[in-house]
């Protein structure tokens, strides 16, 4: 992270820098993660100045073409957060990674929210214990992210529930425009509270509810794509793990096998780095499968939902 101060962005005057600082942009990365239009609105900049600032900030964080060795070294700075289940961690090559978007897809009750809740607790563990050593920002679009459950999971894992709660910041999200505003507010809270994990549960429900009918599909997809694009930029520039949940819809053309397909179409499929499909198993067990990832093979894992959130079936003594 580079602190925003006069002289860091060559050619940007002191008064512009002051306006940005006043609006809460304290690092160059935060400026780079924000579209010029937003910078103009929030910091009260003219359109041209905002464009220039946005471009310079992007050039600062984006060094252009770099040797592949450097890309490899940068990827080594990436951290992974344990999900609470070693099996699920195994198919994710160690857990949910920073710098990427990981998507959990599944029908109602498949465990999406329980995974998010458990991750929000685990992310606070120090890296040597499998966590990210940081806070968590949650965008709750379904009103199911219950603090009581966080308390239960933390206590069952021997962590101090009060401390765990104090590092999780939850924003209720009322509609898709609100989602967009909340995403804009993420860089601020990430910096201020040392957030390492961003959870959006779910990314799709408001869009599905608001844009009904084929004629509205392209506008919906455009807005969804815009949100995801900003999330990806945030994950990369601020090195945070972004986890989103997605629902399924039954495909009428499937005659045998699982008729459920992820919602959100190609926009969501392409925006998320890793996709994990969840389905229900026996009792409280769930089966997770990697369905689309540039680096992970298509493997399956079994886990169970307990007082610890999610954990391995064997550990729960099943
Ligand atoms: P939707 O949001 O409805 O699409 O579903 P989801 O995929 O988010 O499901 P969720 O993660 O909420 O999983 C719900 C399931 O978790 C329930 O069917 C319960 O089996 C289990 N569950 C929820 N809370 C608890 C709990 O406190 N203890 C235990 N042991 N299981 C729980
Ligand atoms: Mg849920």
Instruction: For ligand 1, atom 11, name the residue with the nearest CA.
Output: 111
Residue with the two structure tokens 């946005």 = 54
Q: Where in the chain is the domain with CATH 3.40.50.300?
A: 74-317
- Name all residues whose Cβ lies below 6 A of ligand 1: 106, 108-114, 142, 144, 149, 247, 284, 305-307
Token pair listed for 187: 């860089």
Where does 74-317 sit in CATH, by number?
3.40.50.300
pLDDT tens string, the chain, 318 residues long: the values are 789 999 999 989 999 999 999 998 888 988 888 889 989 999 999 999 999 999 999 888 877 787 888 778 777 889 999 999 999 999 999 999 999 999 999 999 999 999 999 999 999 999 999 999 999 999 999 999 999 999 999 999 999 999 999 999 999 999 999 999 999 899 999 999 999 999 999 999 999 999 988 888 888 998 999 899 899 989 988 899 999 999 998 888 877 888 888 998 888 988 889 999 999 998 889 999 999 888 888 999 999 999 999 999 988 775
Q: Contact 205/220 with Cβ under 8 angstroms?
A: no
Q: How far is CA 16 from CA 39, 51, 209, in A?
A: 11, 12, 40
Look at residues 80, 55, 59 and name the one whose alpha carbon lies nearest to residue 130. Answer: 80
- 24, HSE (Cβ side, Cα atoms, 13 Å): 16
The CA 144 to ligand 2 mean position distance, Å, reads 6
Q: Counting runs of H as helices and runs of E as strands, what totals does the chain give?
A: 13, 13
pTM: predicted TM-score of the whole model, two decimal places: 0.83
Phi, then psi, of 285 in degrees rounded to 5: -80, 155
Atom of ligand 1 nearest to the CA of 278: 7
Atom of ligand 1 nearest to the CA of 106: 7
Atom of ligand 1 nearest to the CA of 104: 7
Q: How many other C-beta atoms are found inside a 10 Å radius of the C-beta of residue 131?
A: 21
pLDDT at 136: 98
> Class of 14-61 per CATH?
mainly alpha
The partner residues of 287 in beta bridges, in order of sequence, read 279, 302
Q: Report which bound ligand comes closest to the CA of 201.
A: 2
pLDDT at 318: 54
Q: Report which bound ligand comes closest to the CA of 115.
A: 1
Q: Report which bound ligand comes closest to the CA of 278.
A: 1
Q: Where in the chain is the domain with CATH 1.10.150.20?
A: 14-61
Look at residues 173, 225, 222 and name the one whose alpha carbon lies nearest to residue 198. Answer: 173
Atom of ligand 1 nearest to the CA of 152: 27
Instruction: For ligand 1, atom 15, name the residue with the nearest CA.
Output: 109
């Amino acid at each position: 992270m580079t602190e925003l101060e006069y002289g860091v962005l060559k050619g940007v005057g002191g008064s512009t820098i002051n306006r940005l600082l006043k609006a809460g942009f304290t690092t160059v990365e935060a400026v780079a993660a924000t579209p010029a239009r937003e910078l103009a609105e929030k910091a009260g900049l003219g359109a041209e100045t905002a464009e220039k600032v946005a471009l310079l900030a992007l050039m600062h964080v984006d060094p252009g073409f770099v040797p592949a060795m450097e890309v490899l070294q940068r990827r080594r700075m990436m951290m992974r957060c344990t999900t609470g289940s070693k099996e699920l961690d195994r198919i994710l090559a160690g857990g949910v990674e920073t710098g990427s978007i990981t998507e959990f897809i599944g029908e109602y009750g498949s465990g999406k929210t329980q995974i998010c809740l458990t991750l929000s607790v685990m992310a606070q563990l120090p890296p040597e214990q499998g966590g990210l050593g940081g806070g968590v920002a949650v965008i709750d679009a379904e009103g199911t992210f219950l603090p009581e459950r966080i308390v239960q999971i933390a206590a069952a894992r021997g962590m101090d529930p009060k401390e765990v709660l104090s590092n999780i910041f939850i924003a209720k999200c009322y509609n898709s425009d609100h989602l967009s505003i909340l995403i804009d507010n993420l860089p601020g809270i990430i910096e201020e509270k040392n957030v390492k994990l961003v959870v959006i549960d779910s990314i799709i429900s408001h869009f599905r509810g608001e844009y009904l009918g084929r004629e509205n599909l392209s506008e919906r997809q455009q807005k969804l794509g815009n949100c995801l694009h900003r999330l990806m930029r945030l994950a990369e520039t601020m090195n945070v793990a972004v986890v989103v949940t997605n629902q399924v819809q039954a495909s009428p053309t499937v005659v045998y096998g699982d008729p459920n397909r992820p919602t959100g179409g190609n926009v969501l499929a392409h925006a998320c780095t890793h996709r994990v499909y969840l389905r229900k198993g026996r009792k409280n067990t769930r089966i997770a499968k990697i369905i689309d990832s540039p680096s992970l093979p298509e493997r399956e894992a079994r886990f169970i939902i307990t007082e610890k959130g999610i954990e391995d079936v064997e550990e729960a003594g099943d």
